[in-house]
Homo-oligomer: A and B are copies of this chain.
Amino acid sequence: MSAIDFTVLRQDGATAARLGSLTTPHGRIDTPIFMPVGTQATVKAMTPEELREIGAQIILANTYHLYIRPGHELVARMGGLHRFMHWSGPILTDSGGFQVFSLGELRKISEEGVKFQSHLDGSYHFITPESAVAIQEALGGDIIMCFDECPPYPADYSYVRKSMELTTRWARRCKEAKRRGDQALFGIVQGGMHRDLRERSIADLCEIGFDGYALGGLSVGEEKPLMYEIMAACGPCLPTGQPRYVMGIGAPEDLIEGINAGFDMFDCVMPTRNARNGMLFTSFGRLNIKGAVYAEDRQPIDPECGCYVCKHYSRAYLRHLFRAGEILAARLNTYHNLFYYLSLMAGARAAIGSGTFARFRREFYAKRQGPTTGE
């Protein structure tokens, strides 16, 4: 008995795209969906009410960061992540595997788990599949992830194979360690850019059996065509009746390709991080608000966008806020970028629902090939 319930409402005819409905202990989610990233128990610069306002249905929180600060036990004593951060909707926590992988020289991998040093104070920590699950159970997200090893790119075949096999053994230990019945556990497919290893990973994970399956180890430096090839190859191998999630991607076009390959869930820091750097997403491509060309531009970021920011603020004002280092710049830019991502997902869902996703995808690319501004 899974803590979640997933139904494919419509399978697109021309592509692998699918419209779905995912019910979690904290509410229902329409898929395909983008999950804003709330690394430290806050989606940077946004309130939960604003997230709701722009159509966020589920958010992601980072286990590694919360384990380090303020500590998962503190969060548990405060009533769990939902209550702590005042977000009553669904939450997915990653397992910390990717963050620990990102520590590079600061971590050492063994069969048992990973020893690493905190990026904050250099203190030593040891995380195992069992403790990664325990930490996520303390945090209390609706969906928790298996602890995985993410191989670097490029890496030789035998390293990637051994790493994938370790991830599979860890996945089994995660499933066995799981205690709470009100959380779903997703397996993470590894195997680098090798299709046969990916297929093997999927087969092994499916044999163990999880509530959903995620592609890990993408967007680690590979070219986009390769990333798309892996998504396209893996999508059809995954079980039809469970949610499919591509971790840590990506740009708007990456999401479109992920949906096209039959994936349902995505997360990425790109819309929020780029916002804080002044890079804004629009229907006609990207726009860098720092540009002198916007100094006296009375237009909104995207004339086709209906968000609060585009309704009330000019590019000239947003450029001024950004140059002045104002917090409101981070706020308004983040709000717009997340609105763009979530609206793109809503548009994709509507297109799948009406059997027009292939056209939606073509038009998405056609618009962006038109005249762009400022980059």
Contact = CB atoms under 8 A, between A and B. Distances in A.
23 contacts: A40-B320, A40-B321, A41-B320, A42-B326, A42-B328, A44-B326, A45-B327, A46-B328, A47-B328, A47-B331, A69-B320, A69-B323, A69-B324, A70-B295, A70-B323, A74-B296, A77-B296, A78-B314, A78-B317, A79-B298, A84-B314, A86-B313, A327-B331
A85 interface: yes
Given A74-B296, A74-B316, A78-B314, A327 B330 contact: yes
A91 to B, nearest CB: 15
A74 B319 CA distance: 12
Nearest to A78: B316
Contacts of A362: none
Contact of A327 (B41, B44, B323): B44
A249 to B, nearest CB: 24
Contacts of A46: 328
A40 to B, nearest CB: 5
A62 to B, nearest CB: 11
Contact of A312 (B77, B79, B86, B298): B86
A114 to B, nearest CB: 23
A74 to B, nearest CB: 6
Interface in A20-62: 40-42, 44-47
A320 to B, nearest CB: 5
**A contact patch SS:** loop
A326 B40 contact: yes
A190 B105 CA distance: 62
A328 B45 contact: yes
A289 to B, nearest CB: 13
Contacts of A47: 328, 331
A78 B319 CA distance: 13
A266 to B, nearest CB: 23
A44 B296 contact: no
Contacts of A85: 317
Given A69-B323, A323-B69, A44 B78 contact: no
Nearest to A46: B328
A64 to B, nearest CB: 13
10 tightest A-B contacts by CB? A45-B327, A40-B324, A70-B320, A86-B312, A42-B328, A42-B326, A78-B316, A84-B317, A327-B330, A44-B327
A314 B79 CA distance: 11
Interface string A321-339: 1011011101100000000
Given A44-B328, A47-B331, 17 more contacts: A40-B320, A40-B326, A42-B321, A42-B326, A42-B328, A45-B327, A45-B331, A46-B328, A69-B320, A70-B319, A70-B320, A70-B323, A74-B296, A77-B296, A78-B296, A78-B317, A327-B330
Contact of A78 (B77, B298, B323, B331): B298
Interface in A273-306: 295-296, 298
A294 to B, nearest CB: 11
A299 to B, nearest CB: 12
A74 B45 CA distance: 28
A323 B324 CA distance: 24
Contacts of A78: 296, 298, 314, 316-317
Contacts of A312: 86
Interface in A144-200: none
Contacts of A331: 45, 47, 327, 331
